[in-house]
Amino acid sequence: MALRRGAALMRVKVYHPSPCSPSRGIIPADATAGFPNMPPFPAFSITALPRIVFGDGRIADLPREVAALGRTALLVTGAHSFRAGPYRAPLMAGFAEAGVAVETWEVAGEPTPDLVDDAVGRFRSAGIQAVVGIGGGSAIDAAKAVAGLLPTGASIMDFLEGVGRGKTYAGPALPLVAVPTTAGTGAEATKNAVLSRTGANGFKKSFRDDRLMPRLALIDPALLATCPRPVMAANAMDALTQLIESYVSIRANPMTDALALAGIEAVRDGLWPAIEGAGAAAREGRARLAFAALMSGICLAQTGLGAVHGMAAPLGAAFGVPHGAACGTLLAETTLANIEALMERDPLGPALPRYGRIGGLLAGQARVCGGDGLIVLSDVLDDWAERLDMPRLSVFGMTEADIPAVVAASGGNSMKTNPLVLTAEELTDILKRRL
Ligand SMILES: [Fe+2]
């Protein structure tokens, strides 16, 4: 990869000699002259966001928040961690005190359409007025899907993108409170629920609608304290991937740019303290990762994602590659492939300097960007994937013979907002390098 990176540096410096250096006069000496070299400030719109409550200990607010939404709540959790953890008993006592009757549904692994339809049938007549999802992306997405279907009793297959019956979702959805216990998917701030079916005809598709956005995202970074290192690492790589893909998305806008850069900075500062630190350093690291994941969810709901997520979906469906691991293992190679393709096919477009800026941000040096930023970015992503033990795809039983099928199935929505269209050959190369 070093040689490829060297070539990248040489070529990109021709086009972007040092775009962040003040000496080049990006800010004109005479401000009244305007900004002749800058593109016009774009128009944009932002869809609804959840109300956000963030901070250590905020889980204690949950019963009161839920009571404001309804008197009977469905609590959706992961299969084991919540039941065994220290938060269940005080929460249940809190719900009772707040006058909220609670039904519970535990979701093992990534939710399937059958699982969601079963839950809708089971709780349809329970008088549920609000849904609470506590857990990782799977539990929150399951909660999101059920909240969207309980009022009508419709099947998830009516609305699932690409594989469903193509009906238009008309709501209504029950109010949803999302409480993440991992820092990665940002599902607490997205309007889609990802449903999976594994195996030969497997898929990983979204039920998506503005009405599925959680009413409240309650983020308590202290909930991450018991998250095992491999899960924390994979989730952090998912959040970082979502932030990078949002920032270079063809639908990026000035507001998502600001949030994505803040999120990337938070990953830079929080990742290693959260993963390897202890005490106050670890606590600060966890808060930063939780913030980064939240920013990544907000951004991706507006901008879409990119080629890493395009490939992660079939890898999860066909080989059971966990989402965070799929993102973590593909991020460095896909970023480099995007950069190389951009230099060939869109050297003066907006995406290359954006990648350079991310590199500078990860290096903690505002003056590192352009070609230097690309080198730093590539190095950092490689280094992190290695240090975080991101698995090779062959670990999941994938071989070179499987690559064409994965490439063929990678054209989902995420691929459409990649900064440029990667060819089947380029996607094949990425997957080969990560076998
Ligand atoms: Fe993701």
- Mean pLDDT, residues 30-39 taken together: 59
The confidence score (pLDDT) of residue 215 equals 97
Place of tokens 């991937």: 241
Q: For the packed helices 323-345 and 2-15, what is the interaxial angle rounded to 10 degrees?
A: 50
Extract the tokens encoding 370: 């352009």
* Proportion of the chain above pLDDT 70, given as a percent: 90
CA 10 to centroid of ligand 1, rounded, Å: 32
Ligand 1 centroid vs 99 CA: distance in angstroms? 36
The pLDDT value given to residue 201 = 77
Dist. CA 119 → ligand 1 center (Å): 25
Distance from the alpha carbon of residue 352 to the mean position of ligand 1, in angstroms: 22
Q: How far is the CA of 313 from the centre of ligand 1 (A)?
A: 9
Q: What is the pLDDT of residue 412?
A: 83
Q: What is the pTM of this model?
A: 0.90
Instruction: Kindly state the average pLDDT of the residues 178-198.
Output: 93
Distance 311 CA to ligand 1 centre (A): 11
* Distance from Cα 137 to the centre of ligand 1, integer Å: 9
């959260």: which residue's tokens? 274
Model pLDDT for residues 396-416, shown as the tens digit of each residue? 999 999 999 999 999 888 999
Ligand 1 center to residue 323 CA distance, Å? 6
One-letter amino acid at 408 equals A
Q: Which two tokens stand for residue 252?
A: 């990026």
Q: What is the mean pLDDT of residues 200-211?
A: 88
Alpha helices in 1-112 (DSSP H): 2-15, 62-67, 81-84, 88-97
Say how many Å lie between the CA of residue 241 and the centre of ligand 1: 7
Of the spans 46-50, 145-149, 224-228, which averages the highest pLDDT? 145-149
Q: Which pLDDT band holds residue 4 (cuts at 50, 70, 90)?
A: low
Confidence class for position 25, pLDDT limits 50, 70, 90: very low
Using the mean position of ligand 1's atoms as its centre, give its distance from the Cα of residue 336 in Å: 19
For the chain, how many residues are written? 435
Partners of 133 in the beta sheet?
76, 178
pLDDT winner (highest mean) among 41-45, 53-57, 162-166: 53-57
Can you tell me the distance from the alpha carbon of 272 to that of 260, in angstroms, rounded to the nearest whole number? 19
The number of beta carbons lying within 10 Å of the beta carbon of residue 219 is: 25
**Ligand 1: centre distance to CA 327 (Å):** 7
Mean pLDDT calculated for residue range 134-157:
96
Looking up tokens 């803040």, which residue turns up? 262
pLDDT band at 32 (very low <50, low <70, confident <90, very high): low
The pLDDT score that the predictor gives to residue 79 is: 77
pLDDT value at position 112? Answer: 94
- Residue 238 CA to ligand 1 centre (angstroms): 5
215-272 pLDDT, tens digit per residue, is: 999 999 999 998 999 999 999 999 999 999 999 999 999 999 999 999 999 999 999 9
The four Cα atoms 288, 290, 291, 294 give a dihedral, to 10 degrees, of 160
Q: Calculate how far, in angstroms, residue 25's C-alpha sits from the geometric centre of ligand 1.
A: 38
Please give the distance, rounded to the nearest whole angstrom, from the Cα atom of residue 150 to the centre of ligand 1.
26
Compute the mean pLDDT over every residue in the chain, rounded to the nearest whole number.
90
Q: Tell the burial category of 202 from Cβ atoms under 10 Å away from its Cβ (0-12, 13-18, 19+).
A: middle
Backbone angles phi, psi at 187, to 5 degrees: -60, -20
User: Rounded to the nearest whole angstrom, what is the distance from the C-alpha of residue 95 to the centroid of ligand 1?
Assistant: 32
Confidence grade of residue 80 (pLDDT, cut at 50, 70, 90): confident
Q: Please determine, for residue 355, whether its predicted confidence score (pLDDT) is greater than 70.
A: yes
* Domains, the chain: 2-19+229-433 (1.20.1090.10), 58-219 (3.40.50.1970)
Report pLDDT for 145. Answer: 97
Asked whether the predicted pLDDT for residue 24 surpasses 60, the reply is no
Q: How many A from CA of 360 to the centre of ligand 1?
A: 23
Contacts of residue 344, defined as CB under 8 A and 6 or more positions apart, other chains included, come to none
| Model pLDDT, residue 15 | 44
Between the CA of 376 and the centroid of ligand 1 the distance, in Å, is 23
Residue 26 Cα to ligand 1 middle (Å): 35
Please report which confidence band the pLDDT of residue 162 belongs to, taking 50, 70 and 90 as the band edges: confident
Determine the pLDDT at residue 273: 97
pLDDT above 90 as % of the chain = 77
The pLDDT score that the predictor gives to residue 367 is 64
Q: Which residues, in sequence order, are CB contacts of 42 under 8 Å at separation 6+?
A: 253, 254
How would residue 52 be classed by pLDDT, with cut points 50, 70 and 90? very high
Q: Is the pLDDT of residue 34 over 60?
A: no
pLDDT over threshold 60, residue 2: no
The secondary structure element, H or E, covering residue 132 is strand 130-135
Residue 179 pLDDT = 97
pLDDT digits (tens, 9 = 90+) for 374-390: 988 989 999 999 999 99
122 Cα–ligand 1 center, Å: 30
- Nearest of 37, 4, 5 to residue 359 by alpha carbon: 5
Q: Quote the pLDDT of residue 37.
A: 67
How far does residue 190's CA lie from ligand 1's centre (Å)? 11
What is the distance in A from the centroid of ligand 1 to the CA of 157? 22
Note the pLDDT of residue 29.
46
> What does the pLDDT average to over 122-151?
96
185 CA from centroid of ligand 1 (Å): 5
In the prediction, which pLDDT does 6 show?
55
Give the distance (Å) from ligand 1 centre to CA of residue 87.
Answer: 26
| Distance from Cα 330 to the centre of ligand 1, integer Å | 12
309 Cα: distance to centroid of ligand 1 (angstroms): 6
Q: What is the pLDDT of residue 204?
A: 85
Tell me the CA–centroid distance for residue 34 and ligand 1, in Å. Answer: 39
Tell me if 77 sits within 8 A of 134, measured CB to CB. yes
Please enumerate in sequence order all residues whose Cβ is within 8 A of that of 121, keeping only pairs 6 or more positions apart, or say none.
153
Between 38-52, 136-150, 349-363, 389-403, the lowest mean confidence (pLDDT) is in 38-52
Q: If you measure from the C-alpha of residue 37 to the centroid of ligand 1, how many angstroms do you get, rounded to a whole number?
A: 35
pLDDT at 65 over 70: yes
